[in-house]
Amino acid sequence: MRKMKLKNLFVITMMLSSIFLMAASSVKTVDVTITDETQDVCSTDYLLKKAFLFGRFQNMTVEGDLVSVEAVNLRIFFFGPFQFFHYTAGEKIRFANDYNGILIADSFLIGSFNVVLPINTNSIAVMNTTMGTILVELYEDKMPITTANFITLANDGFYNGLVFHRVIDDFVIQGGGYYPNGTQKISPYGPIDLEINPDVHHLDGTIGMARTSDPNSATSQFFIDDGAQPHLEPNGTNPNGYAAFGRVVVGIDVVRAIAQVDTMTKYGFMNDWPVNDVIINSITIVSS
């Protein structure tokens, strides 16, 4: 009897391992470049992302081509770039109705699915640049002050036509404050208070707010981490740290490409400015 139980456990373990490896090897993120001729960013096609889901859920509802469940103890793995989410209770997850895994209603879920972003109520910033499109999940649930400021500016069209004026490989790409001719653009809303959440870290692809030595001086300029930058968190190189308020979910390859462009000193004092301007054509906010 004991041998039979061990054999069954071995078979189940091998099945789960094979499903996980199949998902890990087959999951790829497809970036969609939004041109001037393609501005319908509210379509869910732009928000689909391959993921591997594992865990329990409840209250499954089918909505056309989509399925919604409430997490009980659900783990989600994104492989491009790698990200891990663990939802314990009540948060709604939506995914496309093209199952590649095991789905047992009100009980258990395992396998590869097309997850619809945002996987919670957070908004997505669609950042259309001259080097490609970057999709950023904005952590409205954890960083309400900082995200509200960014969303307001984006909805105003404030960022349209500005450049990434400070680019340092393996560090950050920074923009949101200057036109290509070096003229500075000032936020009409002034500075915001420094907001820090211990659950939000400066990981690869994290978006944060640039500021002066004054902790409460951030206005419009933001940066995206090229690689994890833990020293930007409180008690790193600065005791106050820098506000992190979201993370790239599609387009980390675009961030990487921007970070690797050649730079120079422009306008007499602006170091690390790309030789060929990288322009933010638009930032569009997509909400669930």
pLDDT at 80: 64
b/e code 182-215 from CB counts within 10 Å (16+ = b): eeebebeeebbebbeeeebebbbbbbbbbbeeeb
Residue carrying the six token digits 């669609």:
126
Contacts of 62 by beta carbon, 8 Å cutoff, 6+ apart: 97
Distances (CA, A) of 243 to 50, 85, 154, 212, 222: 29, 21, 18, 12, 10
* Spans of all domains in the chain: 2-116, 124-286
Whole-number pLDDT of residue 189: 98
Secondary structure in 3-state letters for 184-209 = ECCCCCCCECCCCCCCCCCCCCEEEE
Is the pLDDT higher at 250 or at 272? Answer: 272
Percentage with pLDDT > 90 across the chain: 57
**Is pLDDT of 92 > 70?**
yes
Cβ count within 10 A of residue 225 = 26
Residue 86's pLDDT band (cuts 50, 70, 90): confident
C-alpha to C-alpha distance for 91 and 164, rounded to whole angstroms: 35
Q: pLDDT tens-digit profile of 170-229?
A: 999 999 999 999 999 999 999 999 999 999 999 999 999 999 999 999 999 999 999 999
Q: How sure is the predictor about 46, in pLDDT bands with cuts at 50, 70 and 90?
A: low
Q: Which of 130, 126, 129 is nearest to 138 (CA)?
A: 126
Exposed e or buried b for every residue in 244-282, given b needs 16+ CB within 10 A?
bbbbbbbbbbbbbebbebebeebeeeeebbbeebbbbbb
Choose among 133, 160, 147, 177: nearest CA to 245.
Answer: 147
Q: Confidence band (pLDDT; 50, 70, 90) for 286?
A: confident
> 67: pLDDT confidence band, cut at 50, 70 and 90?
confident
Confidence of residue 96 (pLDDT cuts 50, 70, 90): confident
- For residue 79, give the amino acid letter: F
Q: What is the CATH number of domain 124-286?
A: 2.40.100.10
For residue 33, name the pLDDT band (cuts at 50, 70, 90). Answer: very low
Under 8 Å between Cβ of 280 and 161: yes
What share of the chain in percent tops pLDDT 70?
Answer: 83
**Contact 173/229 with Cβ under 8 angstroms?**
no
pTM greater than 0.85? no
Answer yes or no: is pLDDT of 13 > 70: no
- Is the pLDDT confidence value at 24 over 50? no
Q: Decide which of 137 and 6 is more confident.
A: 137
Residue-level pLDDT at 234: 96
In 3D space, the residue among 197, 188, 193, 121 whose CA is nearest the CA of residue 155 turns out to be 188
Q: To the nearest 5 percent, what fractions of the chain are helix, strand and coil?
A: 20, 40, 40
